[in-house]
Amino acid sequence: MSKKKHKLHVLSILSKNLKRTQPQLVLSVTIAGEMDMNLSELQPVLKCLEGMGAIETDPDQQYSLITREELLWLDQQGPSA
């Protein structure tokens, strides 16, 4: 899977979390599990997304949350994103 697809997959997972009745911060291990990746493979993707301002993570990159701006952008992309 390309880096772009990895990033979009992470954003999709974080976006789905917000649609839950009680959204929570998403554990990085949960994201890695859904993407069938090792946590060490996921961390550079999270770091990149955080650097872009697309997500917010804690200092240890254990928890993530999509930013409002990125959520709006993702919603504009439609179901193909």
> How many other CB atoms are found less than 10 A from the CB of residue 38?
9
Instruction: For 12, list phi and psi in degrees, rounded to 5.
Output: -65, -45
What is the C-alpha to C-alpha distance for residues 66 and 14, in angstroms, rounded to an integer? 6
Domains and CATH numbers, the chain: 3-77 (1.10.10.10)
pLDDT value of residue 25: 92
Tell me the three state secondary structure of residue 47. helix
Q: Cβ(54)–Cβ(70) under 8 Å? A: yes
As given in the structure block, the two tokens for residue 6 are 């990895």
pLDDT at 80 (0 to 100): 52
Predicted TM-score of the model (pTM): 0.86
Identify the pLDDT of residue 79: 63
Mean pLDDT (10-residue bins), the chain, 81 residues? 90 90 91 96 96 94 93 78 50
- pLDDT reported for residue 5: 93
